[in-house]
Structure 1
Amino acid sequence: MRLSHALRASPALLLALAACHGKGDALHADHGWVRLAAVPGRPAAAYLTIHGGPEPARLLAVESPQAGSSELHQSMAMQGGVMSMQRLDGVDLPAKGELKFAPGGYHVMLFGVNPQVKPGSRIGLTVRFAKGPPLTLDAKVVGAGEDAPY
């Protein structure tokens, strides 16, 4: 192939590759952040947004190498001035849907967070589904009294 033909083909090739590797229609996660507990030794809470792909998916876990264990939870209702929460075995994500983990709703409890993790740092999150490969993302760490970054 002559160089001029290769150069003319390059924009089309780049567009095709971008379409294959773009996040638009693919299952992906973003806006990850972790709020540390006000009391050392208590669990931290992780939040993120998961965007569904062309097929429905079942979320099974969100984990971090900086935590000893994790659990999916959903805040339920106020009872006696205290927000109750329920542990979940998984959460269904519809095709092309969106699943937001945010304060007052779905969240991930991170137990045994490494004491070296401080506000302003970042930690990795691994999002696991019933089928398919896991997703990974970096999450910004904030202190207990700080505003959410997203």
Structure 2
Amino acid sequence: MRNRLVLIAALALGACGSGPPKLSVEKGYIRLAAVPRSPAVAYFTIHGGTADTALIAVSSEVSIKNELHQSMQSGGMASMKPLGDVPIPAGTTVAFAPGGKHLMLFDMNPGIKPGRVVTLTFTFANNQRILFDAPTIAAGAPAPAF
């Protein structure tokens, strides 16, 4: 009987979830530029951990400069502005997606072709760094299905 109770308790605890939320990055990819010397763009999703933080930078060894940007529509005109730090509140999800927040990769190595994986380094205000391997796709290719 005691073994049965221990097994039931273990199963119940396992069903409670995987613990507290963890700061993480997923569903990322890089859309290569259609025109040589134009910037590439990266999209991804960040899940907040147990405490508030902010994304302060994303770097790559295959681009000279990277900037966080926000796309906007105003009066029928599309525009884009650089962002500073991006708040990542605890337990939330922040999407970097077409038409919204994104990462611009300037002066990217021209040898990077569709299908190559590029490591992005995400740096947060809490001193945490996350390495994420992002696949690259061509300018007109559909976004990966995650």
Partner residue, 1:16: none
Partner residue, 1:108: 103
Which runs of 5 or more residues in structure 1 are unaligned? Answer: 1-11, 13-18
* Change in CA separation of 1:112 and 1:100 when aligned onto 2, cut-off 3 Å: same
Are positions 1:67 and 2:63 aligned together?
yes
CA distance in 1, matches of 2:136, 2:52: 30
Partner residue, 1:95: 90
- Give the match's secondary structure for 1:84: strand
RMSD: 2.1
CA distance in 2, matches of 1:62, 1:118: 20
CA distance in 2, matches of 1:70, 1:23: 33
Query: Residue 133 of structure 1 aligns to which amino acid in structure 2?
Result: Q
The count of corresponding residues between Structure 1 and Structure 2 is: 131
Q: List structure 1 runs of 4+ shifted beyond 3 angstroms.
A: none
* Change in CA separation of 1:73 and 1:55 when aligned onto 2, cut-off 3 Å: same
Tell me the TM-score normalised to structure 1 length. Answer: 0.81
Are positions 1:139 and 2:140 aligned together?
no
Specify which of 48, 52, 56 is matched with residue 56 of structure 1: 52
CA distance in 2, matches of 1:109, 1:93: 19
Is 108-117 or 127-136 further displaced after alignment?
127-136
CA distance in 1, matches of 2:27, 2:142: 14
CA distance in 1, matches of 2:138, 2:122: 23
Tell me the TM-score normalised to structure 2 length. Answer: 0.83
Larger strand proportion of the pair: 2
Query: Residue 40 of structure 1 aligns to which amino acid in structure 2?
Result: P
Which string of whole-angstrom CA distances, capped at 9 and with x for unpartnered residues, describes residues 11-48 of structure 1? x9xxxxxx9xx796210101110001110100000111
**Deviation, structure 1 residue 132:** 2.2
**Deviation, structure 1 residue 144:** 0.5
